[in-house]
Amino acid sequence: MKKTLALALAVVMSLGLLAGCGGGNNSTGGGSSAGGSQPSGGSSVTASIPDAPEGGGTVGVCIYKFDDAFMTTYRNALTEILKGKGYQVTTVDGNNDQSKQNEQINTFITQGVDALIINPCMTSAADSIIATVKAANIPTVLINREPTADQMAAYDRLVYVGCDAAQSGTFQGELILETPNKGDINGDGKVSYIMIQGDPENIDAQLRTEYSVGALKDAGIEVEQLDLQRGDWDREKGQTICANDLAQFGDQIEVVFCNNDDMAIGALQSIQAAGRKVNEDIYLVGVDALDAALNEVMNGNMTGTVLNDAVGQATEAVNQMELLLGGATYSAGNQSVYVDYVKVTPDNASEFVK
């Protein structure tokens, strides 16, 4: 179906308006954008609108694995928003297997979906995913695992929607800095911590690990890493790693940094089993603001967490998908749109419960 010229003009005008927003903390639409990039503006918008669906269309959604607590809330939000807008949505589980996801992408292309929303299984697969969707000329929104700007530059009908992972790490560090003793519970002049990392292939895991501790160092605090283990975002792994570390390092551990909440909830079980008390003799922080974690923050069993805004990102992903369907193209270096993280403490945790 071809859109009318009037609609084409409306799209061009709306993109022109967006471009006019300039830099800073503006938003391209539904989500709260943290200084995110914008579509490249009127100049790069194609005048003829390619097969944009009227009153809905078909969307293929690839999730890296359904068995991931945060991506489950994200997936549910995405499906609800797309269905609410009249799209026909098919969501598939990559089972954390990139070759399986590649097949799913190819199947969607063969079926002739109007757009794809893809949460890659592996960041390292970005080049081949981008080559595939480009060859098929399918408008594509990548989510949750950010490729490099150079990789995205290969295809101008592609955009990434996510968050600035460094920001979430910094917020975790700040949560510790805001405690009465700035994390130095035993008063020995340094903060001794363990780091329970997500999948280290994922930029979120890399940057949260770096920037959480970086915030302490930037504040002039001496730090000591007792252990760093990969927990792959998984609650049970978080529990096991923390239990082993508590057995090995005992009271030396003052802070447990977890790259996400699911691992923090696992770690909390081990902390409680070891007879330790969060916010009295140990601090514990996560990221995501899962409902379970918000409850623990309110109960004083987690020091804090960071809102990873699933609804905001899903809203922005759909918004960007619609811009692409309307004919928008993106210039190199302007293909990432960010939604803000929010620091969560006992004072504001109740605001985020769904």
List of residues contacting ligand GAL (CB under 6 A): 68, 70-71, 144-145, 198, 202, 204, 233, 260, 287-288, 308
130 vs 263, which CB is nearer to ligand GAL?
Answer: 263
Q: Give how far Cα 140 sits from Cα of 83, 158, 324, Å.
A: 18, 5, 8
Tokens encoding 353 = 């419960």
Evaluate whether 188 touches 222 at the Cβ level (below 8 Å): no
Evaluate whether 178 touches 170 at the Cβ level (below 8 Å): no
40 vs 305, which CB is nearer to ligand GAL?
Answer: 305
260 vs 319, which CB is nearer to ligand GAL?
Answer: 260
Per-residue b/e over 278-299, b at no fewer than 16 CB within 10 Å?
bbeebbbbbbbbbebbbebbbe
Q: Report angle CA 131, 61, 264 to the nearest 5 degrees.
A: 105
CA atoms within 13 A on the CB side of 243: 11
193 vs 341, which CB is nearer to ligand GAL?
Answer: 341
Q: How far is the CB of 303 from ligand GAL (least distance, A)?
A: 17
Q: How far is the CB of 57 from ligand GAL (least distance, A)?
A: 27
Q: How far is the CB of 202 from ligand GAL (least distance, A)?
A: 5
Q: How far is CA 111 from the centre of its chain?
A: 28
Rounded Cα distance, 53 and 113, in Å = 10
144 vs 303, which CB is nearer to ligand GAL?
Answer: 144
Q: How far is the CB of 208 from ligand GAL (least distance, A)?
A: 8
Q: How far is the CB of 347 from ligand GAL (least distance, A)?
A: 22
